[in-house]
Structure 1
Amino acid sequence: MQFLNPGIFGLLLPLVAVPLLIHLLSRRARRTVPFSSLELLRQSSAQQSRLHRWRHLLLLLVRTAFVLLLLGAFLRPVWLKYGPAVQTDAARNVVLVFDRSLSMEAQSGGNTARSRAVLEAEKIIASLDSGDTVNLVLAGADADTAFLSQSQNHAEARRALNALGPGYGEADFGRANLAVTRTLEGITGAEIYYLSDFQRTNWAKVDFRPLPVSARTYFVNVGEPSIPNRAILKAGFDQSNLREGDLATLKATVGNFSEQPFEGRLTFRLDDQASFEQETTLAPWSTAEVSLPLAISGEGEHRLTVELPDDALEADNFYFLTVPVSRQEEVLVASQSGDATAGGPYFVRTAVNPFRGEAGSFAPRVIPTAQLDAVALSATAKLILTDSGPLTEAQAAALADFVFSGGALIWFLDGPAEAENARAVDKAMGGGKFPLLLGPRREADALNTGTQQIIRGEFRSPFLRLFRGSARQNLALLEIYDYYQASRSGEGKVLLSFADETPAMAEFGHGLGTGIVFNFSPDALSSNFARQRIFPAWLQDILRQLDQGEGPPPASRVDTTLTAEVWPVDLQQGELKDPQGERVSFRREALGGRIAIAWETPRSGFYQLKLADGSKRYFAVNVSSDESDLRLVEPSTLPAFEQKPTVEVQGQAGLREVASGVPLFQYFLLGALALAVLERLIQFLLIRKVRS
């Protein structure tokens, strides 16, 4: 307990002597009174009783305690509920650590946790005297401060609070604590207030040890205990590079952070024009993946927005993607005949682009093997060999260089010269790179056991992803009539095997490129491969998996730095705008004839870079999915309670109690009133005793 007005104690102390003076003045000297009446005898007996003798002393004690309680009430007693941080004669040094994370934007009762935190912070500042200092630390991805050091400018601190807009990122309280330590350097006895909703992800790993030892920490919880929320956690296509004519699958992961199931529509908007909807159902506290096939049309860069219905937290109901679409990619098909109307080349060309008018994403071009040289290979990134015929040493070297430089090779071992070709290419690659050791060619008419079938596979390979799960049975439908007797070379990976353990499909790498080897033919006379409905889809999927480029970068997250390269004229005539259409400032650095620019992304949506030629580039930015689960962590479980003197403050009354303690004067007054009643009761009992 502590008294807030100890200075008047000396002035009020003489009042304690008043009951003693009353006691001394009320004592009467004993005298002898003659009487003869029995009534006078009873009175004399009562006056000489023990109670009568001690009543003055008892009344003295009660009256003295009464005066002491009244005196204590005037001294303004307080209970130091939050420890010895209450100061009566020294300036207070207060730091407000303000949570700037996305979860603070969740709506509850018409207000956000951010708005409630601003009100609580203003109450703390209002409790300060003119000589007290304050600073504001904004806990976001970085830790910004309102002042370089502690300041007595309370008005500016309020202005900084009221100027705070929504936060869309995460809160790094570790960095915030380091900023607090810097601003309190050389100051003892400081008060540190954390104004937060205590969302569990932001507070999962916070180190309070850097804080000054003498400082006390206070947790002001402005969050609601249970706010249901739904969010789009991530979204993306099932392939890296998208080409005009592709039928790609968009997959979105949706989370339901609520005790109630969710049934609703997921909306997909392409370039703010085309709109698609997909029904989705989620159990409580679960996630689900929603898939939507999309026909990709139109070369260029597109914008895709995935949207959920409104709820308490609006920002995570959207997910933004940029979708760069390239033109059809040429695939070179080389065979000995060069005839695209018959045999293996025909079936390969048809599988690569089976669409009417060749509207698919790949454009096959069939050439005779004789034209296969370094010049022809330099014009393509993907090559398919089928019934290739004998390769010259120069062609084998060109193939090795093609793969080494990042080219993708699909090789059907379906000609009589493939064993020699494989050895020549392996030699050109430096030896020991080709995955198979080829023996004699086996044909169906020479087999007593009939056709071969695939019985084993490495289905974790991305080149076999179409056969995972129940789709694996499609491989059992394949019948191979002609193949090479072969064994593993020890290099590369065997992906599929026949019943007699002969490798049916293998993968190898050389330099930057990848090769896929099939130990059978696409020709209908050598296998039923081309007659299977899975053949075109599988071959196209392998071509997509062989893409060397990473494709469009994943959408960035809020509070990251984005970069782009532009020409100087683009900076003179172009402009960079944020999702709200406001100009964005950026940093620049010369890179030869071009300029690299970099800018920050404090909010989600599409950032638009308009170039000098009128074209536009878009950059998608999304909020962190870690902020979507709005469940709170109990502040008392945080390590601060073990590392430092720490308390949790509840509401405005709690803030007043931190500043000046819990008032006790009313209890002193009640105690004095009770003593006054006791004094009257004692008097009443004594009089009644005497009369009886």
Structure 2
Amino acid sequence: MPVFLAPIYLAGVLIAAAPVILHLLHRRQPKPIPFSTLRFLQAAVARTRRSRRLTNVLTLLMRVLILLLIALAFALPKVRFAHWLPAGARTIVLILDASASLRCVNGDRTSFERAKAWAADLVNSLSEGDRVAVMAPGTHEPLVVFPAISDRTRVLAALDGVQPGYGHVDVVAALADALTRLDFGRGQTGLEVHLFSDFHAECWDGDAARELARRGRDADVIVYLNEVRPSLLANAGLRRVGLAPPALIGDGGFRVTAAVAASPDLTGETTVRLAGDGGELATASLEVAPGREASVVLTAQAPPGERPLSGTLSLPADAYEPDNTYHFSLPRVAGVPVLLVNGGGAADGRDVFFLRQAIQPGGRPNTVVVPETWDWNAFLARSADACRLVLISNPPRLDEAARHRIEGLAAAGAHIWILPGEAGDISGDLKGLTAFAGLAISKETLDTPAAMTLVPGRPPESLEARIETALGAPVSVPVSRRLRLEQAADPLDVLFRYPDGLPFALVAAHGRGRIGLATVSATRDWAEWPLTPFFVIAVQELVKDAVQASVPLLSTEVGGRVALDWAEEATGAEFELVSPAGERRIVGVTRPGVEAPYLLRGFSEPGLYEISRGGKSLRIAVNLPTTESDLAALSRAKLEGDLGGMQVIHARGWDEQRERVDRLRHGRPLWPFLLVLAACLAVCEELFANLRSRVGGLPPILGRLLAAGRGGA
């Protein structure tokens, strides 16, 4: 709807009548001239008359329109849109994304400092009576000022005190929380929600945004997406850091692998440094192409000591420092026992020979694993509670006593794997295990041994994916006999499949541990599997799972938790927690039973935390959430598209937002367009006037005839 800021000039439209009046006053009356017959010239005269009449009418209309447009332009018209801002008091809700990614340096200040300055400019631009609320998801107190107040001094002071955290923030969830608290603006006028964020891909849930847009389609609220993304980001960050082994034996060696990701604006070489309690352990230099990743591997020898080895993997400082450092804490252990059960009872231990070689290649102990071999009777009679991984090769039977032992160890947290063989047919006994009660199991002998290529199945906790990655090629196993496993309606986790779709191995959770079943033996009686790299890698991955389950995990992410197996007869405890900055506090936790771990939380920043209780202490490594490492930003079209149906305004700065708000509140000026249109019509009018002057005279032949007629008279 047009609005005129100087309506008095609308009186100028009366001037548009001047060309019409002048046209009527200067109309020429035809003057009769005696002449002989004109029947041969009537057609030419008619054509000329029609042409002049059309030219005169068009010229007159253009002159009238030119005067009308000039008069309207002087009235300063503006156009308001359908979703223009209502007049009156406004209620502003400021949502500041306080996640770690807002610590990225943008020029001479961080993105979060830029967001706060933008929010302060917005608050200072408000009128008396306008109210403001402030929310900062990602901080200890996300409701900074809520509900909205009109005291701008208090709001500005609260804004100045907000600092970003180091955790992850789901900005769509934060927006939904604010709109829900405000009942989507129902019954309110002038409600605006301003979301300040860098809108990187990991903080935006597209499905949740579309659901929010569906709920708020008829909401009387305007959502401002205020983007504070860095204009130039030169950053290299650490990704997918892994340490092997997950624990140290004394001053044993360890290896660190990582990917270094470079932003599109980063060029040049970078240096990766590995440091421990005793100082720098290793360094490596590598070239990373802009927008690409490069892998790095560092090996080091742990310094002597009894405490866990704490240290960092770091990159040089750049625009985003939080992802330049990875903290670690490697526990030291005396060895994790792995039990190898020689089910066949052969004196030479042939049933477990290949298993031992896979665990300790060459017979040299180079991991945290300490394998021990028992025969079948010892397994049934002796206590194996300390063993975290039990590999049963070629069991002669699985009677009730054996099944009870297997399920008891798994319930306590052990990983049990059963590998069949020639000592006995266990296909019927296996269904007595709770985990495999729904299986149809039979022993199958292939007429012709064949190399059966395995295809991926459904991996249990990425075990299958890790094996595939380590092999780097399709898995092929020469098989002559196997257990044929056919699942019931509720499938178990599958570790690879044969080409006919049947599982190569199955695994099921049981209590705190697992029970797994392979379809071929750990000897060469059924297959050539023990001679393949697949066998060695699979056994080593099973060992890693068992080690990780038995060794305390001394690392987590910001906002995460750590499970502490604290040996004491109590279900509640208080721990002293010392932050990387040296702040001390007491954290009280409980657990459901004395065998369950304590789940400790309260890690709000990256670094090394010291946890102590009763003279015992541990170091916990806390790192940046992986979701705050990738800063790839979403496009404006993606953001507005996901919130389609709601009133959304996107801006990249205070000046841009203020201009757009002014347009919505006051309308877009129309007078420049009117003046340009008037100038175009003036050019057209001049062209038509020149055309009329060229055709305004009589046709040449008619002029000669009229001259001859006058002479004869």
Correspondence for 1:161: 159
Q: Aligned AA for 1:318?
A: T
| Distance change in 2, residues 1:3/1:281 (3 Å) | same
What CA deviation, in whole Å up to 9, does each residue of 1:170-225 have, x standing for no partner?
A: 24244335425635675422344444444455456344564984444445444344
Q: Aligned AA for 2:610?
A: Q
| Distance change in 2, residues 1:576/1:371 (3 Å) | closer
Separation of aligned partners in 1, 2:597 and 2:529? 52
Q: Aligned AA for 1:643?
A: M
The alpha-carbon deviation at position 112 of structure 1 amounts to 1.7
Correspondence for 1:232: 238
Q: Aligned AA for 1:488?
A: R
Correspondence for 1:577: 578
Correspondence for 1:651: 654
Separation of aligned partners in 1, 2:485 and 2:81? 78
What CA deviation, in whole Å up to 9, does each residue of 1:209-243 have, x standing for no partner?
A: 6498444444544434442433223333578x646
| Distance change in 2, residues 1:544/1:171 (3 Å) | closer
Aligned equivalent of 2:424, options 419, 429, 453: 419
| Distance change in 2, residues 1:299/1:398 (3 Å) | farther
| Distance change in 2, residues 1:122/1:326 (3 Å) | same
The alpha-carbon deviation at position 163 of structure 1 amounts to 0.8
SS at 2:148's partner residue?
A: coil
1:43-442 alignment to 2 at 5 Å? 85=85, 87=87, 90-140=88-138, 144-168=142-166, 169-179=168-178, 182=181, 187-203=188-204, 205=206, 206=209, 207=212, 210=216, 213-237=219-243, 242=247, 244=249, 250-258=256-264, 263-271=269-277, 273=279, 275-292=281-298, 301-335=308-342, 349=356, 352-353=359-360, 358=365, 360-378=367-385, 380-384=387-391, 396=402, 401=407, 405=411, 408=415, 418-419=423-424, 422=426, 426=430, 429=433, 437=443
Separation of aligned partners in 1, 2:588 and 2:432? 48
- Asked whether the equivalents of residues 458 and 496 of structure 1 are also in contact (C-alpha less than 8 Å), the reply is yes
The alpha-carbon deviation at position 375 of structure 1 amounts to 2.5
| Distance change in 2, residues 1:434/1:238 (3 Å) | farther
Separation of aligned partners in 2, 1:156 and 1:459? 60
Q: Aligned AA for 2:622?
A: A
Separation of aligned partners in 2, 1:569 and 1:517? 43
The alpha-carbon deviation at position 596 of structure 1 amounts to 6.0
| Distance change in 2, residues 1:126/1:562 (3 Å) | farther
| Distance change in 2, residues 1:82/1:636 (3 Å) | farther
SS at 1:575's partner residue?
A: strand
| Distance change in 2, residues 1:505/1:521 (3 Å) | farther
Separation of aligned partners in 2, 1:642 and 1:321? 47
| Distance change in 2, residues 1:571/1:143 (3 Å) | closer
Residues 606-615 or 285-294, more deviating: 285-294
Separation of aligned partners in 2, 1:318 and 1:598? 23
Residues 105-114 or 653-662, more deviating: 653-662
- Asked whether the equivalents of residues 571 and 590 of structure 2 are also in contact (C-alpha less than 8 Å), the reply is no
Q: Aligned AA for 1:371?
A: A
| Distance change in 2, residues 1:86/1:283 (3 Å) | same
- Asked whether the equivalents of residues 133 and 151 of structure 1 are also in contact (C-alpha less than 8 Å), the reply is yes
The alpha-carbon deviation at position 259 of structure 1 amounts to 5.1
- Asked whether the equivalents of residues 554 and 620 of structure 2 are also in contact (C-alpha less than 8 Å), the reply is no
What CA deviation, in whole Å up to 9, does each residue of 1:136-168 have, x standing for no partner?
A: 232448993333322122111111111121233
Aligned equivalent of 2:613, options 611, 614, 617: 611
Correspondence for 1:488: 484
- Asked whether the equivalents of residues 229 and 628 of structure 1 are also in contact (C-alpha less than 8 Å), the reply is no
Separation of aligned partners in 2, 1:353 and 1:453? 29
SS at 1:638's partner residue?
A: helix
The alpha-carbon deviation at position 391 of structure 1 amounts to 6.7
Correspondence for 1:558: 558
Unaligned 5+ residue runs, structure 1? 17-64, 443-448, 672-692
1:634 aligns with 2:636: yes
Separation of aligned partners in 1, 2:620 and 2:135? 33
- Asked whether the equivalents of residues 256 and 286 of structure 1 are also in contact (C-alpha less than 8 Å), the reply is yes
The alpha-carbon deviation at position 533 of structure 1 amounts to 9.4
Unaligned 5+ residue runs, structure 2? 12-69, 676-713
Give the RMSD, CA atoms, in angstroms. 5.8
Residues 186-195 or 203-212, more deviating: 203-212
Residues 228-237 or 548-557, more deviating: 548-557
SS at 1:285's partner residue?
A: coil
The alpha-carbon deviation at position 126 of structure 1 amounts to 2.1
SS at 2:190's partner residue?
A: coil
Q: Aligned AA for 2:114?
A: R
The alpha-carbon deviation at position 248 of structure 1 amounts to 6.5
Separation of aligned partners in 2, 1:182 and 1:409? 51
- Asked whether the equivalents of residues 419 and 438 of structure 1 are also in contact (C-alpha less than 8 Å), the reply is no
Separation of aligned partners in 1, 2:173 and 2:431? 57
| Distance change in 2, residues 1:433/1:331 (3 Å) | farther
- Asked whether the equivalents of residues 302 and 322 of structure 1 are also in contact (C-alpha less than 8 Å), the reply is yes
- Asked whether the equivalents of residues 339 and 345 of structure 1 are also in contact (C-alpha less than 8 Å), the reply is no
| Distance change in 2, residues 1:636/1:264 (3 Å) | closer
- Asked whether the equivalents of residues 197 and 227 of structure 2 are also in contact (C-alpha less than 8 Å), the reply is yes
Correspondence for 1:57: none
Separation of aligned partners in 2, 1:545 and 1:607? 26
The alpha-carbon deviation at position 131 of structure 1 amounts to 3.6
| Distance change in 2, residues 1:435/1:259 (3 Å) | farther
| Distance change in 2, residues 1:192/1:343 (3 Å) | closer
| Distance change in 2, residues 1:139/1:513 (3 Å) | closer
| Distance change in 2, residues 1:635/1:140 (3 Å) | farther
Structure 1-normalised TM-score? 0.64
Separation of aligned partners in 2, 1:129 and 1:186? 21
- Asked whether the equivalents of residues 649 and 655 of structure 1 are also in contact (C-alpha less than 8 Å), the reply is no
Correspondence for 1:514: 516
- Asked whether the equivalents of residues 608 and 617 of structure 1 are also in contact (C-alpha less than 8 Å), the reply is yes
- Asked whether the equivalents of residues 506 and 517 of structure 1 are also in contact (C-alpha less than 8 Å), the reply is yes
Correspondence for 2:688: none
Separation of aligned partners in 1, 2:285 and 2:428? 56
- Asked whether the equivalents of residues 97 and 138 of structure 1 are also in contact (C-alpha less than 8 Å), the reply is yes
Q: Aligned AA for 2:484?
A: R
- Asked whether the equivalents of residues 224 and 649 of structure 2 are also in contact (C-alpha less than 8 Å), the reply is yes
- Asked whether the equivalents of residues 228 and 630 of structure 1 are also in contact (C-alpha less than 8 Å), the reply is no
| Distance change in 2, residues 1:436/1:228 (3 Å) | farther
What CA deviation, in whole Å up to 9, does each residue of 1:92-114 have, x standing for no partner?
A: 43333323233322212212222
Question: Kindly, what percent of the aligned residue pairs are identical?
Answer: 18
Correspondence for 1:26: none
- Asked whether the equivalents of residues 573 and 589 of structure 2 are also in contact (C-alpha less than 8 Å), the reply is no
Question: Aligned residues, how many?
Answer: 581
- Asked whether the equivalents of residues 396 and 428 of structure 1 are also in contact (C-alpha less than 8 Å), the reply is no
Correspondence for 2:549: 549
| Distance change in 2, residues 1:402/1:662 (3 Å) | closer
SS at 2:241's partner residue?
A: strand
